[in-house]
Amino acid sequence: MKKYFILGMIMVFSSITSFGQTNVLNIPFFETPPVVDGLPDKGLNIFEWQNFSVEKTNEQNKVFTVHYKMVYEHTYLYLLIETDSDTIIWRDRAYQNGDGFHLVIAKPDFGKPTGEFYVLRFSPENKSKQFPAKKGVWYYNIDLSGKPLSSATQFVCKTTNGKSYFELLLPWSEVYPYHPLFTEDIGINLCFVKAIGDNDKNFYYLKFDTLIQSELSKREYILASFEPPKNITHSYSLAMLEQKNIIAGNTLKIKIISFSESTKSSGYYITVRSADNYIYTELYKEIQLSKGCSDNSKEEIPFTVLPEIKYEKDKISLDDIKNNISQGDYNTLHFMLQNLVKEYQKVKKYETAGDIRERYLTYYNYIIELKKDNHLLSNKKGIFRRAFLSKIDSTLQPYSIKIPENFEYNKKYPLFVMLHGSGSDDQAMLYNSLTENNFIEIAPFGRGTSNCFTIDNAQVDVKEAINDVINNYPIDTTKIIIAGFSMGGYGAYRIFYEYPKLFKGIAVFSGHPNLASKYIGKGNPDFLNTKYLKPLKQIPVFIYHSKNDLNCPYDLTKQLVDKLIKVGAKVKFVTTSEGGHGIIDKDNISAYYKWLGNIIENKK
C-alpha cells in the first residue's frame, strides 16, 4: 500500500492574487459553475465562440463548423465544444479516431515545445452498445499514462437542434500543479477529432502540433491569459505546497490565496498528519482578513516525506550479502537500487513520491531479511520485477514476472512471454489474465517502449530475459509461448522469426504485420512477405483482431492470416466487430484459453 502524509488545512483569510500575464489565449473568469448536461448554459451567452484551425486526413472530407468556449473559476476549467453535426459518431478511441478530443495542459518552456504536461483524452458514450463516456490522462510528462480522471471531472455529450455538444468541467486538482491563481504560466492546446465517413477524420486544433498524439514527444501549446477574478459573491481560500515531496527534517512551505468581502480577524489551522491519522504537528495562526466574512475552507493536500537515498551507501550493504544469494537475486536487487536512485533524482517538486518511498522500504527490508538468511525475493509470488546482467553491454535490464500463488519448486512450468505495446513498458502487461495461472509469465522490457522490438538489441534482450527466468525457475523449455499486444504483436512475429526453435506457439492480439517499416524505417521484416512466414509452418498461431480497430488495421491482419494458412501454420483466428484496439474481448477469451490449453497438453 502506498502511504502519503496528509496536510490538512482549515483556512479563513483573504487578499486577491495579482495577475500580470500578457498571453495569447484569453480565458474569462466565470464564478458560477455551469450545469454539465451536454447543453450550453444561458449564462455563457456573454462569451463569444472561438474558432479552430483544421487539418484533414483526406482533402475530400467535409468541413464541419466546430468552435468552443473556455472559462475558468478557482476550482475548475470549463470547456464547451459545439459542432454543426446532428450526429455524434462513436469510434473506438474516439479521442484519437473521432468524435472526441484531447486537451493539453502544460508548463511553458520559453515558447518552445515542453516536456512537462498533461494530455487528457475524452470519448463520448455509445448508448446503443452501452459503452460509457471515457475520460482519462493519456500522457503525463511525455510518458504514456492511462490514469483515469475522477468522478469530480464531469463530461457529457449531447445532440440537439442539429448541433452536437461536448461539455467538460475539469477540476484544477486533476491537473496539479497547474492552477491559474498559483501557476505563473500555463500553456493550453486542444484538438477536437471529427469522424468523417468510415475511416477518415478532421482535426480541429488550437495550435497545430503533429506530435500531439505521439509517444516520447514534447508538446506545443498556446500561453493562456486568465482574467483576474471579479464580482466575488462568496468567500473562499486556496492553498498549495511549494513542494509535495521533502526529505525528512526539511521545511514544508505553503502558499495561500483567500477571497473575502468584509473585515474582521479570523484564524486558520494547519495540521500535519500521517495517512493513518496520527497527528504530528498542529499550528494555529490568527490573521486580519481584508474585508471579513469567514468562509471555513477545508482542504487536504497530500505530500511525501522521503528518506535520503544514497547509491554508494546502499550498494555497500548489498555487496555485503552478495556471496549469500543467487546471482539472479543480486542482479534484481542491484537493479532495484539503481532504478530507485534514478527515479529519486528525477522526481519533480510538485509530485508526491509515496511509490518511491514504499519501494525503497521494500528493498531495504529485502536486505535486512537476507542478512538473516531469509530469502524473501526467491520465494516471492505474484507480479514483480526482476533483472539480468546483459551480455551485450553489461547493463542491468529489467523484466516483469508473474509467479503462480500455488508455485512449487519441484514442479516444471510452461513459460508465457508477453510483449508490451508502444508507449508502455513491461510493468503493466501481466495484470491481464492471459493464462489460467498454470504458467510462469514474463514481460520483457525489450530495451525501450516504442522500438517495435526490432532495434536497440531488443530481440537479444527478450532472449536474455527468457534465459534468466530459465536459470532461476523450473521452466519446461519445450513449452514456451511468445505473445504480444499491438506493437508487441509485431514483436512476437519478430522474436519468433529470430528464434523459431525456442517457441512452441505464438499469440498475437491486435497486432500489425509491418509496424517496424512504418515507424522505424525500411529494411525491417514485413510479415506480409511470405519469406518471413516460412518458420511458422506447422506452428500453432492464435490471432485476435477486432474489425473496428483503427490503430492497427484489421485488413492487414486478415491478409496475414490468409498467408499464414498458405505456408502451413496452424492458425486459430478470432474476431469481433466491437472490440476496438484491445487485447481480447470476453466473447473470444474461452477460445483462446482452449487453444493455449491444447498446446500445453500436446493436443493437435
Place of cell 512450468: 413
In whole angstroms, what is the distance from residue 344 CA to residue 311 CA?
Answer: 11
pTM over the 0.95 mark: no
SS3 assignment for 547-570: CCCCCCCHHHHHHHHHHHHHCCCE
Give the amino acid at 301. I
In whole angstroms, what is the distance from residue 547 CA to residue 503 CA?
Answer: 28
* CA–CA distances in Å: residue 215 to residues 10, 21, 98, 423, 492: 41, 31, 19, 6, 21
Buried b (16+ CB within 10 A) or exposed e, 341-379: beebeebeebbbbbebbebbeebbebeeebeeeeeebee
pLDDT mean over 509-513: 98
Q: What is the mean pLDDT of the chain?
A: 90
**Residue 31 C-alpha from the chain's centroid:** 32
What pLDDT sits at residue 129? Answer: 78
Residue 535 backbone class (left: φ over 0; alpha: ψ -120 to 50; beta: rest): alpha
Residue 287: pLDDT above 90?
no
Peptide bond into 228 cis (omega under 30): no
Residue 286: pLDDT above 80?
no
Which triple of cell numbers denotes residue 429?
502487461
What pLDDT sits at residue 8? Answer: 34
Residue 497: pLDDT above 50?
yes
Nearest alpha-carbon partner for 169 in 122, 204, 213, 125: 122
Let me know the angle formed at the C-alpha of 204 by 199 and 206, rounded to the nearest 5 degrees. 150
**Residue 367 C-alpha from the chain's centroid:** 31
Q: What is the pLDDT of residues 102-150, one digit of tens each?
A: 999 999 999 999 999 999 999 999 887 788 999 999 999 999 999 999 9
What pLDDT sits at residue 290? Answer: 47
Residue 238: pLDDT above 90?
no
Which triple of cell numbers denotes residue 561?
492470416
Percent of the chain clearing pLDDT 90 (strictly above): 80
Which band of pLDDT confidence, cut at 50, 70 and 90, is reported for residue 364?
very high
Which band of pLDDT confidence, cut at 50, 70 and 90, is reported for residue 5?
very low
Asked if 258 and 17 count as a contact pair (C-beta separation under 8 A), the reply is: no
Q: What is the pLDDT of residues 385-398, one digit of tens each?
A: 999 999 999 999 99
Nearest alpha-carbon partner for 26 in 262, 256, 218, 188: 188
Residue 459: pLDDT above 80?
yes
Asked if 463 and 499 count as a contact pair (C-beta separation under 8 A), the reply is: yes
Nearest alpha-carbon partner for 314 in 345, 360, 358, 376: 360
Which triple of cell numbers denotes residue 486?
499491438
Residue 293: pLDDT above 50?
no
344's CB contacts (< 8 A; 6+ apart) are: 306, 309, 353, 356, 360
The single-letter DSSP state of residue 132 is P
DSSP per residue, 14-63? -BPPP-----SEEE-B--SPPP-SSS--GGGGGS--EE-EEEESSTT---
Q: Across the beta sheet with 245-247, what order do the strands follow?
A: 245-247, 297-306, 5-11, 265-273, 279-288
Place of cell 516525506: 305
Q: What is the dihedral of CA 423, 141, 170, 96, to 10 degrees?
A: -30
In whole angstroms, what is the distance from residue 211 CA to residue 155 CA?
Answer: 25
First to last CA, the chain: 45
146's CB contacts (< 8 A; 6+ apart) are: 136, 137, 138, 424, 428
In whole angstroms, what is the distance from residue 102 CA to residue 193 CA?
Answer: 8
12's CB contacts (< 8 A; 6+ apart) are: 235, 237, 258, 266, 267, 268, 289, 294, 295, 296, 297
